[in-house]
Structure 1
Amino acid sequence: MLNKQLNKSLRSLFALLVLVMGLGFSTTTLAADEQSSKQQAAKDNPAELWRAVKGGETGRTTAQGIEPGVLINVGGNEGRIIRDDYITPAVALALVGVFGAFLVFYFVNGPAKLTKGFSGKMVERWSKADILLHWIMAIACLILMLTGLMIILGKFAIQPYVSASIWAGVIAFSKFVHDWTGPVFIVSWLVCIVKWMPLQTIKMYDLKWFLVVGGYINFGPFKGKHPDSGFANAGEKMWFWTLVFFGLFISVSGMMLVLPGLDLPREASMLALLVHGVSAAILIAFTIVHIWMATALSEGGMESMVSGYCDENWAIQHHNLWYDEIKANGTLKYQE
């Protein structure tokens, strides 16, 4: 009796396995038939084939490496549209819009004059190492900006007006210089962060600096308002932390785009390109502001990054808390 029940159970189990295998085989066969039907339909109808390729459908190719079966990457194509429709105009706006806004502001407001004029006594502010480091990073940053603008905007502003051979030389040279200047910027950027970060901590009095626009307004209720400031004012701190974060984004994305050993999926490469473009637009805008503030809008401001010394009245007016500190602790040093 027990053997009969066991045999019956085994027959039932065997029948169940056969059924499952049969269903699996049928499903596989149907899927294969469906795929074969699609391929045959594509062969018979080129429009259907092109529609499938544009939709990102994979197939078999002789290509090697990552994603060999993808002829058109949908994500990469969408990223290209985002770059062309949004990021490129944003870069152009950062260049023309911010520069134009500050130019208008300068003609309306004028520079921030020293209330008591120049004292003639120069106070040490930066070391020679600081000056060298600043200018290495600044020159590298400007070269990257100019070559990057040529790469992203040159096809609109220059390519239509020159021959194909000239444009090929210009764009090849721009990319070569851009790629090899990148490491110089990254190294100097890292050293600047480590060296200057202790001077860039946010303080409560920095809020007032923004409320009175740093004392740069020469009319209305803000005229003559000189807010408290340490070694770095609130605007300089905002520039520094923008450089920290977006410098990181632009450095990492740039390495992803140029390092030959990386075999990235198309989506990752396109994401890196988009991050690179957005970061570039933000850094270009802030760099223009930084240059305007340090040169045209601040009387005597550029001198400290040329000689390392600033006028004593400039230090008192724009960085009073720092001046009081070095005077109190005996580190105040005049130029001999």
Structure 2
Amino acid sequence: MFIKSLRSLFVMLVIPLVLSMGLGLSASAMAADDQSSQQQAVQTSDADLWRAVKAGESGYTVAKGVETGVLINVVGNEGEIVRNQYLTPVMGITVVGVFAAFLFFYLVNGPSKLSKGFSGKMVLRWSKADLWIHWVMATSCLALIFTGLNIMLGKHVLQPYIGEGLWAALIYGSKTIHDWVGPIFIVSWLLCVVKWMPMQTFKMYDLKWFLVVGGYVNFGPFKGQHPDSGFANAGEKLWFWSLTLFGLFIAASGLMLVLPGLDLPREASMAALLIHSISAVIIIAFTIVHIWMATVLSEGGMECMVSGYCDENWAVQHHNVWYDEMRDSNSIVYKD
């Protein structure tokens, strides 16, 4: 009887204990499953969040301004890739390639000599105002070119070979000069366009100028050919209209980049930067050509932009239409 009572007591104690353990294990399993589900949901939510951020989707922020809700701007990143991987190498190739091409041409061809030599009679070609406009624009343009090249190419060409302190000063100085010289170039560029545009109309005889390379070739079938040309030859007209168009692009995009009050969206800023860089590449190429043509390739050409006068034989050989018009109208002004 006593043993039977012990068995009953044991059953009464063990069964609740077993049930309690079973319920506890079930509850723990359910809690673990719930926690795992929550963690998975959080991970999925984080992945979706960052996927949206990387895609450039806009979120919410209390900050005020343009695109403050966008954490990563896709267009900006893609524009930076285009600038660094394509435009920067193209700019370097343009500078080296165009300069090398004209150096090779000069070494093979030599300068374009005056067929009748210098006459000693100097004819007025440019006024004092023209000279001031030209040299202010030329100086500011060269300053922008050299500082712009340092900004674009300096980290590849100079930075690895100079100290960090010197590089910091150099890049800061380039950026400062670039920003402050820009308005000077814009004003002089605008005066140049307004004052010189009437002389830059293309004529039918300009086509022959291109066909015979302006008469600058000293060998082969082009040797000795001096095509007709007005006040500006066809090459100068091409340079003028390129400067007019891409100078406008450079001026507008440059103002967009440096004026803080505009508060432009990132897409507009990147578009301005790319337009600025592409236009700069074209202007740099034409500037190198212009300098070569005006200095070493054209005998007597540089004197025009120094004193404003050109030798009469130079005028007859390189700008005969203009010279004939002045002669026929009796408006030639000689230097005393």
Regarding TM over 0.5, the answer is yes
State how far apart, in whole Å, the 1-side matches of 2:284 and 2:186 are.
Answer: 16
* Mapping 1:156-235, distance limit 5 Å: 156-235=156-235
**What do the CA deviations read for 1:141-183 (whole angstroms, capped 9, x no partner)?**
0000000001010110111222322222111111110000000
State how far apart, in whole Å, the 1-side matches of 2:44 and 2:191 are.
Answer: 58
**What do the CA deviations read for 1:195-232 (whole angstroms, capped 9, x no partner)?**
00001011010000000000000000000000000000
Q: What is the aligned partner in structure 2 of residue 140 from structure 1?
A: 140
* Mapping 1:33-112, distance limit 5 Å: 40-41=42-43, 45=47, 49-112=49-112
**Structure 1 residue 39: Cα displacement:** 8.9
TM-score norm. by structure 1 comes to: 0.86
Q: Structure 2 vs 1, CA of residues 312 and 112 (structure 1 numbering), >3 Å: closer, same or farther?
A: same
Amino acid at match of 2:193: I
Q: Structure 2 vs 1, CA of residues 172 and 327 (structure 1 numbering), >3 Å: closer, same or farther?
A: same
State how far apart, in whole Å, the 2-side matches of 1:178 and 1:189 are.
Answer: 16
Q: Secondary structure at the match of 1:310?
A: strand
State how far apart, in whole Å, the 2-side matches of 1:39 and 1:102 are.
Answer: 66
State how far apart, in whole Å, the 1-side matches of 2:180 and 2:200 are.
Answer: 30
Amino acid at match of 1:127: S
State how far apart, in whole Å, the 1-side matches of 2:78 and 2:200 are.
Answer: 39
**What do the CA deviations read for 1:222-245 (whole angstroms, capped 9, x no partner)?**
000000000000000000000000
Q: What is the aligned partner in structure 1 of residue 246 from structure 2?
A: 246
Amino acid at match of 1:97: G
**What do the CA deviations read for 1:280-324 (whole angstroms, capped 9, x no partner)?**
000000000000000010000000100010001000000001000
**Structure 1 residue 84: Cα displacement:** 0.9
Tell me how many residue pairs correspond in the alignment.
298
Q: Structure 2 vs 1, CA of residues 38 and 157 (structure 1 numbering), >3 Å: closer, same or farther?
A: farther
Q: What is the aligned partner in structure 2 of residue 237 from structure 1?
A: 237
**Structure 1 residue 56: Cα displacement:** 1.2
Q: Secondary structure at the match of 2:283?
A: helix
RMSD: 1.6
State how far apart, in whole Å, the 1-side matches of 2:83 and 2:46 are.
Answer: 36
TM-score norm. by structure 2 comes to: 0.86
Amino acid at match of 2:215: G
Q: Structure 2 vs 1, CA of residues 147 and 226 (structure 1 numbering), >3 Å: closer, same or farther?
A: same
**Structure 1 residue 40: Cα displacement:** 3.9
* Mapping 1:107-118, distance limit 5 Å: 107-118=107-118
**Structure 1 residue 42: Cα displacement:** 5.3
Amino acid at match of 1:142: L
Amino acid at match of 1:326: M
State how far apart, in whole Å, the 1-side matches of 2:305 and 2:218 are.
Answer: 25
Amino acid at match of 1:138: A
Answer yes or no: is 1:325 the counterpart of 2:325.
yes
Q: Secondary structure at the match of 1:123?
A: strand
State how far apart, in whole Å, the 1-side matches of 2:156 and 2:239 are.
Answer: 30
Q: Structure 2 vs 1, CA of residues 280 and 39 (structure 1 numbering), >3 Å: closer, same or farther?
A: farther
State how far apart, in whole Å, the 1-side matches of 2:81 and 2:323 are.
Answer: 52
**Structure 1 residue 260: Cα displacement:** 1.1
Amino acid at match of 2:148: G
State how far apart, in whole Å, the 2-side matches of 1:69 and 1:267 are.
Answer: 14
Q: Secondary structure at the match of 2:123?
A: strand
Q: What is the aligned partner in structure 1 of residue 285 from structure 2?
A: 285
State how far apart, in whole Å, the 1-side matches of 2:235 and 2:180 are.
Answer: 31
Larger Rg: 2
Paired-residue identity, %:
68
**What do the CA deviations read for 1:87-131 (whole angstroms, capped 9, x no partner)?**
111111221110010000000100000001111111110111111
* Mapping 1:117-136, distance limit 5 Å: 117-136=117-136
State how far apart, in whole Å, the 1-side matches of 2:176 and 2:206 are.
Answer: 41
5+ residue gaps, structure 1: 1-36
Q: What is the aligned partner in structure 1 of residue 34 from structure 2?
A: none
Q: Secondary structure at the match of 1:261?
A: helix
Answer yes or no: is 1:302 the counterpart of 2:314.
no
**Structure 1 residue 49: Cα displacement:** 4.2
Q: Secondary structure at the match of 1:236?
A: helix
Q: Secondary structure at the match of 1:154?
A: helix
Q: Secondary structure at the match of 1:144?
A: helix
**Structure 1 residue 63: Cα displacement:** 3.6
State how far apart, in whole Å, the 2-side matches of 1:42 and 1:128 are.
Answer: 73
Amino acid at match of 1:287: T
Q: Structure 2 vs 1, CA of residues 286 and 185 (structure 1 numbering), >3 Å: closer, same or farther?
A: same
